[in-house]
Amino acid sequence: MIDFHCKCGTRVFFRNTQCLTCQRLLGFDSVGFYMLSLRAAANDHRVLHDEDSGKEFRYCGNYDDYNACNWLLPAASPERFCISCRLNKTVPDLDRGINVERWIRLESAKRHTLYSILRLGLALTPANDRHIKLEFAFLEDGRTNAEYADTFVATGHGSGLITINLAEADASYREKVREQLGESYRTLLGHFRHEIGHYYYELLVASTDWRAPFETLFGNPDEDYNSALKQHYNTVADDWAPDYISAYAQSHPLEDWAETWAHYLHMIDTLETAGQFDVMQLKGESAEGRGVLNKPFAELVDTWLELSVKLNALNRSMGMRDAYPFVITDPVYAKLDFIHRVVGASVAA
């Protein structure tokens, strides 16, 4: 994540909508990757003026309606919603106040995920011959709403549609499930990064020349999925084989890919953040955003391993769990390197 600053020099953050020092409005430009400092036009408060470029913007409609998004559109755009919110196929019943709070948490994690994808240079909804389109559905079941007592909504992905159960926005529920499943890490951001990994497998690997090397590293993606997951949950354990980044990655080759993809995004995004805040720097120029795709992968991993040790030490000093409780073994390294090469080839093309 970039270290953003308001026009007045105050440090601001990705979720901010106003600078507390100079009172300028803040909004994220997903094209230029800037946090813009804006003034409302005198004749129309919805039109936001950027003093530096002279351009005019407006907030996403979900800012106007729910204060749920700070991404910007050009003022003259015919669209009501930003590039992130336009991907929503289904949102929960927002007449229920608690749903608005939970939905806003989901949207925040989604925007951070899309930031990472766009920062790498990947397209969100590229044209493809199978008509796979990225969409999101945020759904309730009996865990959050008694009206749906007999229903069960699984978080997952299918043909471009990413479904997230609204219950995952509840930190206490998420922690309960983490303990039940023996997971060492469970976050909203992790969910989004994992599920969008399934989407990019379909786009970048499934029907391409990358399919054969994928099978060599991850296994046969056509292995019976439901049987594999049933077996996994019947034998779930706190530890996992050294060939995998997590216990869940063992369940099926496609889950192994999605888990490894999520860790690739963890690594790339956190390395950029560390560099932006002068915690740890990658060597050379263009070591942020899509510039990381030009870096030797071994250098990325070496820097990441050193950084993750420091992160864990800092967390322990605060009495918290390790920020990165994982081990990158040689087989995991090979899988991460494969993803690095797939992403690099796609962006270059």
pLDDT block averages, 10 residues each, the chain of length 349: 94 96 96 93 87 93 95 96 96 92 96 95 83 93 81 91 94 90 89 97 95 97 90 72 91 96 96 90 62 87 95 96 94 97 92
Q: Are strands 161-165 and 135-139 parallel, antiparallel or unpaired?
A: parallel
258 to each of 26, 36, 66, 177, 201, how far by Cα in Å? Answer: 34, 33, 32, 19, 8
**Residue-range domain boundaries for the chain:** 4-83, 84-197, 205-349
Whether 255 contacts 272, CB under 8 Å: no
Name residues whose C-beta falls within 8 Å of residue 177's C-beta, 6 or more positions apart in sequence.
183, 186
Give me the pLDDT at residue 152, please.
Answer: 87
> What pTM did the predictor assign?
0.93
Whether 135 contacts 88, CB under 8 Å: yes
Q: Residue 222 has what DSSP assignment?
A: T
Rounded CA-CA distance 77/63 in Å is 16
Q: Are strands 135-139 and 88-90 parallel, antiparallel or unpaired?
A: parallel
Name residues whose C-beta falls within 8 Å of residue 178's C-beta, 6 or more positions apart in sequence.
185, 186
Rounded CA-CA distance 140/164 in Å is 9
Amino acid sitting at position 330: D
72-121 residue pLDDT tens: 999 999 999 999 999 999 999 999 889 999 999 999 999 999 999 999 99
Query: Side-chain half-sphere of 26: how many Cα atoms within 13 Å?
Result: 23
